[in-house]
Amino acid sequence: MDMNTVILMLAATVAAAVPLIFAALGELVVEKSGVLNLGVEGMMIVGALFAFIVAAETGQLWLAAMVGALAGASMALIFGFITLSLMANQVATGLALTIFGVGLSAFIGQGYTSVALDGLKELSIPGLSALPIVGKLFFAYNILVYLALAAFIAVAWFLYKSRAGLILRAVGESPSSAHALGYRVIRIRYLAVLFGGAMAGLGGAYLSLAYTPLWAEGMTAGRGWIALALVVFATWRPGRVLMGALLFGGVTIAQFHVQGLGVEIPSQFLSMLPYMATIVVLVLISRDAGVVRLNAPASLGQPWHNELH
Amino acid sequence: MIRLEPRPEPSRAMVYLSPLLAMALMLVVGMIVFTLLGQPPLKAFHAFFVEPINDWYGFGELLIKASPLALIALGLAVGFRANIWNIGAEGQLTMGALAAGGMALWLQDSTGVWILLPLMFIAGALGGMLWASIPALLRTRFNTSEILVSLMLVYVAGFILSWLIHGSWRDPDGYGFPQSKMFESNALLLILIEGTRVHAGVLITVVALMLAGVFFRWSLTAFQMRVAGLAPKAALYAGFKQKKTVWIGLLAGGAAAGLAGTAEVAGPIGQLLMPISPGYGFAAIIVAFVGRLHPLGILLASLLMALLYLGGESAQMQLGLPAAVSGVFQGMLLFFLLATDVLIQFRVRWVGKTSVGAA
């Protein structure tokens, strides 16, 4: 392999990692507040569809990305209402959100399956994008890629360096104590859930606006679920979420290059790779029960209501 | 202003009423959606919920769609009762269908129907169980989330099926289409009702419903698993085996999904192709919840969900709406159920503005 191919592969890895970075960072914040939302896949695909529709109808890609985030947040609001205000089981509600989102997007999106879109273009930064090697590696992505990176820095700062992040983590560790200290547990959890939805929606928007600028039923292909696995794999730490997403981006890209190397493997087995890799990393991380128990927010997945405590 | 107030005791009545309430809400919202789409609501209602089953053939279609839904939901209910979340029944169904279909392709030229069909169902159940044993093993051995593993395996199963019907199992005379040979009659289920597609696989669901009724009501294992779900600590102190609960919870779902997959390929489909199921494995999760994890409830819920599938197809033909509208209705149904379930533990109180501030 020559240098050029390696650089192209690395750049493709970053591009494939971006939807996972968005969705997993969002879910990380949600889970840090003590809420487990399994509906990432549903929020993501609804975000992808609505972003695509706006882009196809108006041509405004920025507006489209924002609408994608908004669509994801709207889905999250349904989840928040049922689990936070009505205290329903979070696992079941998250599943319902995914089933609903997949159905809703297939229903609304039917008229858009053959629409072509001019996707989001790579930036061209004068003086930088044209540089050898570094130009392609760092300065020639579309704007959403940089937004994902900015989101990573913002989330890491928020969780560990800001007062609000400290409160959010306290709510996730012990909602009753946080409540006793006068913090509005339910409101904080609502905000976290909405943020998670917006991020999943952005991840979806990136898919339908930039990664593969088209709409296809089920186009998120399990990325929302992989994002959920990434949060566990990362033991709820933003830095590891980023690393994990890049790792999965690499696995996704590897499947396209293995055949190019002359290895005779049926394409279906290569397509399985990201899903198999998810299982493998989950096993590796959960093998040591202590690691998960120490790092998972203590109240994760448990309903809480101030009438009950 | 609305406030929720804990009930001193959970309401028994609401346990049974909330699924009905959820159904009513789904209908109301569905009618509003139809109206917004410019369809006269009554005509849409008729096309969606009446038209599909106003003759024998349609009624038969209802049965053959309800059958896999109820069967899988029963299997999943075994696990759900113990908080074992197998959400990969769709993949287990695919693997069951694959194992049964492989058996048919291998033996249909040399074996009679009375040997071949039972072999197919055994292979199907084992195929589904094999696929469910992966999350069970990883959960009991490495404490890995069965939710994520079982879901990932849905995609893997789909790729295995795709590989086989694009490759060695492809019908050589099939003009290159990715599908297997049609099964011979000795690998096909008997039609039970003339003029419909109701096949003998429905009987398996009927037997499963009765068996589950007995199992849930009287078996010690089922009781232990229920306790493990409702009060995990109590189950631990009582010495109930946690690993056994995980294994039974997942294998029951796998076996049921595998049998359902077998009945699909040996029944209405008659060959291996993609996809084998229109999402029965996922819809069965809704059936299990709406049916309150109880056999009778699951039977009723499976009929309702089957009607939603048929309604989607009918709405496509009659009203020109995408058939995917079924999925929207199914998702809404589960949302409304989960939302109205709050009424089991809580009572709704209307309170004045001032007392809200005090609360």
Residue linked to tokens 């009375």: B114
Question: What's the predicted TM-score (pTM) here?
Answer: 0.92
User: What is the structure's pLDDT at A206?
Assistant: 96
Neighbours of A244 (CB within 10 A): 26
φ, ψ dihedrals at A168, nearest 5°: -60, -45
Q: Cβ B331–A305 below 8 Å, yes or no? A: no
B156 near A CB under 8 A: yes
Query: pLDDT for A91-130, tens place per residue?
Result: 889 989 998 999 999 999 988 988 888 878 887 777 777 7
User: Best residue in B39, B80, B85, B143 to probe A by mutation, most A CBs within 10 Å?
Assistant: B143
Q: Show me where the domains of chain A are located.
A: 3-295
Cα–Cα distance between B37 and A53 in angstroms, integer? 17
A78 near B CB under 8 A: yes
B358 confidence band (pLDDT: 50, 70, 90):
very low
B168 near A CB under 8 A: no
Handedness of CA B226, B230, B235, B238 (dihedral sign): negative
Query: pLDDT for B140-159, tens place per residue?
Result: 999 999 999 999 999 999 99
A13 confidence band (pLDDT: 50, 70, 90):
very high
Query: pLDDT for B152-211, tens place per residue?
Result: 999 999 999 999 999 889 998 888 889 999 999 888 998 898 888 999 999 999 999 999
Nearest one of B205, B187, B150, B153 to B272, comparing CA atoms: B187
Taking the C-alpha atoms of B159, B160, B162 and B166 in order, what is their torsion angle to the nearest 10 degrees? 140
Residues of A in contact with B138 (CB under 8 A): 279, 282-283
Secondary structure (DSSP) of B15-51: HHHHHHHHHHHHHHHHHHHHHHTT--HHHHHIIIIIG
B356 confidence band (pLDDT: 50, 70, 90):
very low
B230 near A CB under 8 A: no
User: What is the structure's pLDDT at A247?
Assistant: 93
Residues of B in contact with A292 (CB under 8 A): 143
Query: Which is more confident, A260 or A214?
Result: A214
B166 near A CB under 8 A: yes
A225: closest chain B residue by CA = B148
Residues of A in contact with B331 (CB under 8 A): 96-97, 99-101, 103-104
Which residue in B144, B286, B328 is closest to A283 by CB distance? B144
User: What is the structure's pLDDT at B348?
Assistant: 83
Segment A35-40 mean pLDDT: 96
Are the C-beta atoms of A178 and A167 separated by less than 8 Å?
A: yes
* Tokens matching residue A127: 């003086």
Residues with Cβ within 8 Å of residue A162, at least 6 apart in sequence: none
With 90 as the cut, is the pLDDT of residue B111 above it? no
Give the CATH architecture of domain B40-320: Orthogonal Bundle (1.10)
A106 near B CB under 8 A: yes
* Tokens matching residue B149: 């593993």
Q: A113-127, A157-171, B258-272: which range is least confident on average?
A: A113-127
B289 near A CB under 8 A: yes
Which residue in A81, A99, A287 is closest to B330 by CB distance? A99
Q: Cβ B334–A92 below 8 Å, yes or no? A: yes
Rounded percentage of chain B residues whose pLDDT exceeds 70: 97
Secondary structure (DSSP) of chain A: --HHHHHHHHHHHHHHHHHHHHHHHHHHHHHHTT---TTHHHHHHHHHHHHHHHHHHH--HHHHHHHHHHHHHHHHHHHHIIIIIS---HHHHHHHHHHHHHHHHHHHHGGGTT-----PPPP--TTTTTSTTHHHHHS-S-HHHHHHHHHHHHHHHHHHHSHHHHHHHHHHH-HHHHHHTT--HHHHHHHHHHHHHHHHHHHHHHIIIIIS-S--TTTTTTHHHHHHHHHHHTTT-HHHHHHHHHHHHHHHHHHHHHGGGT----HHHHHHHHHHHHHHHHHHHHSSHHHHHHHS-TTTT----TT--
Note the residue count of chain A. Answer: 309
Q: Cβ B85–A110 below 8 Å, yes or no? A: no
**Based on the number of CB atoms within 10 Å of its own CB, is B152 exposed (0-12), middle (13-18) or buried (19 or more)?**
buried
Residue linked to tokens 């999250």: A76
**Based on the number of CB atoms within 10 Å of its own CB, is B234 exposed (0-12), middle (13-18) or buried (19 or more)?**
exposed
Residues of A in contact with B163 (CB under 8 A): 266, 268-269
Cα–Cα distance between B222 and B177 in angstroms, integer? 46
With 90 as the cut, is the pLDDT of residue A43 above it? yes
Amino acid at A129: S
Are the C-beta atoms of B135 and B85 separated by less than 8 Å?
A: no
B330 near A CB under 8 A: yes
Residue B349: beta bridge partners?
B3
Q: A210-214, B14-18, B132-136: which range is least confident on average?
A: B14-18
Amino acid at B312: G
Residue linked to tokens 């390696």: A6
Are the C-beta atoms of A35 and A84 separated by less than 8 Å?
A: yes
Return residues 231-290 of A near B (CB < 8 Å): 232, 266, 268-269, 271-272, 275-276, 278-279, 282-283, 286-287, 289
Query: Which is more confident, B99 or B318?
Result: B99
Are the C-beta atoms of B288 and B298 separated by less than 8 Å?
A: yes
Query: pLDDT for A277-288, tens place per residue?
Result: 999 999 998 888
A99 near B CB under 8 A: yes
Residue linked to tokens 């198999």: A276
Nearest one of B344, B166, B188 to B263, comparing CA atoms: B188
B2-6/B346-350 β-pairing:
antiparallel
Pairs of CB atoms within 8 A across A/B: 140
B227 confidence band (pLDDT: 50, 70, 90):
confident
B359 confidence band (pLDDT: 50, 70, 90):
very low
User: What is the structure's pLDDT at A242?
Assistant: 96
Segment A210-229 mean pLDDT: 93
Q: A84-93, A110-119, B329-338: which range is least confident on average?
A: A110-119
CA distance B256 to chain A (A): 20
Which residue in B167, B328, B342 is closest to A103 by CB distance? B328
* Tokens matching residue A193: 């859930």
Cα–Cα distance between B177 and A137 in angstroms, integer? 42
Nearest one of B101, B122, B88 to B253, comparing CA atoms: B88
With 80 as the cut, is the pLDDT of residue A289 above it? no
Note the residue count of chain B. Answer: 359
User: Best residue in A46, A75, A86, A90 to probe B by mutation, most B CBs within 10 Å?
Assistant: A86
Residues of B in contact with A266 (CB under 8 A): 163, 166-167
User: What is the structure's pLDDT at B238?
Assistant: 80
B355 near A CB under 8 A: no
Rounded percentage of chain A residues whose pLDDT exceeds 70: 99
Q: Cβ A103–B147 below 8 Å, yes or no? A: no
User: Best residue in A226, A268, A302 to probe B by mutation, most B CBs within 10 Å?
Assistant: A268
CA distance B129 to chain A (A): 18
Q: Is A3-295 in CATH node 3.10.50?
A: no
Query: Which is more confident, A260 or B38?
Result: B38
Residue linked to tokens 């819920």: B301
B149 near A CB under 8 A: yes
User: What is the structure's pLDDT at B354?
Assistant: 53
Cα–Cα distance between A251 and A277 in angstroms, integer? 8
